[in-house]
């Protein structure tokens, strides 16, 4: 990404301390975003017992959440550019708090749908907010650490939700768990309010092109929104990246939404241990992301790392779906699949950078990341239909197919990027 250029600043302990405070605040907020994405899935069994909802009705709650997030993601980037990221960040976290309270107070499906929609609004702001703050407030020497921590904390947020919610359901009930989720996000919201000065403004102005020719080459940002979209929407690499994120998000949604009930149906594992297995998937994915960071520099062909790791993750899910392994080994397979999918993360980010033209970072992120929301919104209902029809292993098979399709799309995106005439962003931020 094109970053602010604070390179003229001398490094110091004070600057390092400030950078890591910003990184920690953004990481905590990003963890809340991922944490809240799994609040509804972890309540599925409790809501089904309370209200008698089937998996299609339950999956529709997640679909509404991600559909609203998809619609809001691109537009939220324009808001961030005009009023600054810090107030938008607090707005997003506040939406999560309100959504959690509505879930806890709900007396039927309408309030749950409303809570899902409000949560989706909150979720839509985090990518433009987080990347804006990282680029404009973190010194260039620690940008790599900031982006790495950003991805890691997201996975840790996913990992926390099943254990956190299952524990509160066990100690109290599902309403107490929803209140607990709201209280946890409210604490992070309070921290971001205390650190509001750290999250506002810029370190330095972004560097200007040295020549007029360079300015014209880099200047998609000077075009109108319509002109920029017309330029980007004819690029096969960008549509390939959109579909890549849609397939990977759909696969991940399958694992997140239905691994707990599937482990119970196929392997007889109770929901507390199944929730722990899902947390293990997320923790292993975080570990895979750290390992994948070391692999990024091993080859310029990062699409190969993406493809191999996703195919391995899909193969492990197929073995899991076959149902022929002991329950303890099934939990291990879940974690191994998470590790393989996590390895693809850093190489995926480098691949997406290669298809992002200069001057169009916000637009490309809005387009590409909306693919994640599309996949996450469609998958819960589709896979819920499989479970309601008695195909108890269907979501695992579907997730495997999605990972394999994404692997092929990664290869396609890399080939399309090499043929693109658009000036790409630098390889390093």
Whole-prediction pTM: 0.70
Are residue 187 and residue 238 in the same domain, yes or no? Answer: no
> What band does 229 get if pLDDT is binned at 50, 70 and 90?
low
DSSP state letter for 360: -
* Rounded-to-integer distance, Cα 153 and Cα 126, Å: 13
d(CA 279, CA 260): 10
Task: Say yes or no: 33 and 175 in one domain.
Answer: yes
Cβ-in-10-Å burial (0-12, 13-18, 19+) of 171 comes to exposed
Closest alpha carbon to 158 in 259, 86, 231, 233: 259
Same domain, 271 and 399: yes
Taking only the tens place, the pLDDT of each residue in 363-407 is 666 677 778 878 887 888 888 888 888 888 889 999 999 999 999
99 and 159 in a single domain? The answer is yes
Mean pLDDT of the region 229-244: 75
Q: pLDDT by residue (tens digit) across 273-323? A: 888 888 888 889 888 887 877 776 666 777 888 999 999 999 999 999 998
Q: Are residues 73 and 115 in the same domain?
A: yes
For residues 198 and 133, state if they share a domain: yes
What residues contact 141, with CB distance under 8 A and at least 6 apart?
7, 11
Q: Please count the residues of the chain.
A: 429
Residue 347 CA to residue 303 CA, distance in Å, equals: 7
Token pair 């899935």 is found at 41
**Residue 1 included in any domain:** no
The number of domains in the chain is 2
In this structure, is residue 338 part of a structural domain? Answer: yes
Cα distances (angstroms) measured from residue 420 to each of 3, 23, 242, 354, 411: 23, 34, 16, 10, 14
Domain end residue (candidates: 203, 218, 248): 203
Token representation of residue 166: 């299952």
* pLDDT attached to residue 429: 39
166 within domain boundaries: yes
- Shared-domain flag, residues 192 and 237: no
Q: Are residues 171 and 52 in the same domain?
A: yes
Model confidence over 26-41: pLDDT tens digits? 999 999 999 999 999 8
pLDDT of amino acid 220: 52
User: 177 with 121, same domain?
Assistant: yes
210 pLDDT more than 50: no
Q: Using one digit for the tens of pLDDT, what is the confidence trace for 317-369? A: 999 999 888 988 999 999 999 999 988 877 776 677 677 665 555 566 667 77
Structural domain span for residue 22: 18-203
């Amino acid at each position: 990404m094109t970053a602010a250029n604070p390179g003229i600043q001398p490094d110091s302990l004070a600057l390092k301390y400030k950078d890591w405070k910003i990184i920690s605040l953004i990481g905590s907020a990003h963890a809340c975003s991922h944490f809240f994405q799994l609040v509804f899935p972890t309540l599925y069994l409790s809501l089904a017992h309370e209200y008698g909802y089937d998996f299609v009705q339950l999956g529709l709650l997640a679909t509404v959440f991600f559909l609203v997030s998809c619609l809001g993601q691109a537009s939220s980037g324009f808001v961030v550019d005009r009023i600054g990221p810090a107030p938008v960040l607090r707005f997003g976290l506040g939406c999560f708090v309100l959504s959690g309270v509505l879930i806890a107070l709900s007396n039927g499906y309408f309030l749950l749908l409303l809570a899902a929609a409000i949560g989706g609004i909150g979720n839509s702001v985090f990518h433009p907010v987080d990347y804006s703050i990282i680029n404009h407030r973190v010194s260039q020497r620690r940008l790599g650490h900031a982006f790495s921590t950003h991805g890691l904390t997201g996975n840790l947020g996913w990992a926390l939700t099943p254990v956190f919610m299952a524990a509160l359901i066990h100690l109290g009930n599902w309403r107490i768990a929803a209140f607990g989720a709201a209280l946890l996000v409210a604490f992070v919201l309070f921290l971001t309010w205390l650190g509001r000065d750290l999250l506002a403004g810029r370190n330095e102005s972004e560097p200007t092109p040295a020549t007029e020719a360079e300015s014209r080459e880099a200047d998609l940002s000077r075009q109108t929104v319509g002109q920029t979209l017309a330029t980007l929407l004819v690029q096969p690499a960008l549509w390939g990246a959109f579909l890549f994120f849609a397939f990977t998000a759909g696969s991940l949604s399958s694992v997140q939404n239905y691994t707990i009930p599937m482990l119970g149906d196929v392997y007889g594992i109770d929901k507390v241990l199944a929730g722990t297995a899902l947390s293990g998937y997320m923790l292993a994915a975080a570990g895979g992301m750290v390992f994948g960071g070391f692999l990024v520099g091993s080859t310029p062909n990062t699409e190969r790392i993406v493809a191999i790791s996703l195919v391995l993750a899909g193969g492990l899910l197929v073995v899991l779906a076959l149902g022929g392994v002991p329950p303890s080994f099934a939990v291990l397979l879940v974690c191994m699949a998470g590790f393989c999918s996590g390895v693809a993360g850093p190489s995926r980010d480098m691949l997406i950078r290669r298809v992002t033209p200069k001057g169009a970072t916000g637009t490309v992120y809005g387009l590409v990341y909306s693919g994640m929301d599309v996949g996450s919104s469609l998958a819960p209902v589709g896979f819920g239909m499989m479970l309601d029809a008695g195909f108890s292993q269907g979501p695992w098979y579907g997730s495997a197919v999605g990972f394999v399709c994404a692997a092929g799309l990664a290869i396609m995106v890399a080939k399309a990027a090499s043929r693109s005439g658009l000036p790409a962003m630098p390889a390093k931020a």
